[in-house]
Amino acid sequence: MEIYLLVTLVLVYILTVFMIRKHSRQRLWLIAFMIAFAITGIALSFLRFTNQDIMMNAAELSWYYILYLFASIMIALGIINLWVFRHSIWEILFGNSDEDI
């Protein structure tokens, strides 16, 4: 399933390279990243604060915690990147797009 999603996103990106101006393409993919970032944060907070019991064997449980760890690291790095590049993000989302007609 994840492979299909990755291939589809790569194909959509290739199509957007040829069909959409640079500024609009940057805006589209930045918004997609921010939506995925928000969904990941909500999912992690749900898993963290609901403390649900998960019926898995030990091997599956270790993979679950590794995925949780990497998703948590992704959230931390995403917050840092959003802060560091806040001016560029603001310009991509709300800036003037007349320079690349």
- Kindly give the confidence (pLDDT) of every residue in the chain, 101 residues in length, as a single tens digit, with 9 standing for 90 and above: 668 877 888 888 889 889 988 888 888 888 888 888 888 888 777 777 776 655 666 566 677 777 777 787 788 778 878 887 888 888 888 887 665 54
Residue 29: how many other CB atoms lie within 10 Å: 16
Predicted TM-score of the model (pTM): 0.64
Q: Considering the domain boundaries, does residue 2 fall inside one? A: no
Q: Which residue range(s) make up the domain with 72?
A: 21-100
Q: Considering the domain boundaries, does residue 78 fall inside one? A: yes
Length of the chain: 101
Q: Considering the domain boundaries, does residue 9 fall inside one? A: no
Contact present, 44 and 60 (Cβ < 8 Å) = no
Q: Considering the domain boundaries, does residue 62 fall inside one? A: yes
Measured between its terminal Cα atoms, the distance across the chain in Å is: 37
Q: Considering the domain boundaries, does residue 16 fall inside one? A: no
Q: Which residues contact 56 (CB under 8 A, 6 or more apart)?
A: 64
Contact present, 40 and 75 (Cβ < 8 Å) = yes
What's the Rg (C-alpha) of the chain? 18
Name the domain count of the chain.
1
Q: Considering the domain boundaries, does residue 46 fall inside one? A: yes
Determine the Cα angle at 39 with ends 18 and 15, to 5°: 10
Q: Considering the domain boundaries, does residue 7 fall inside one? A: no
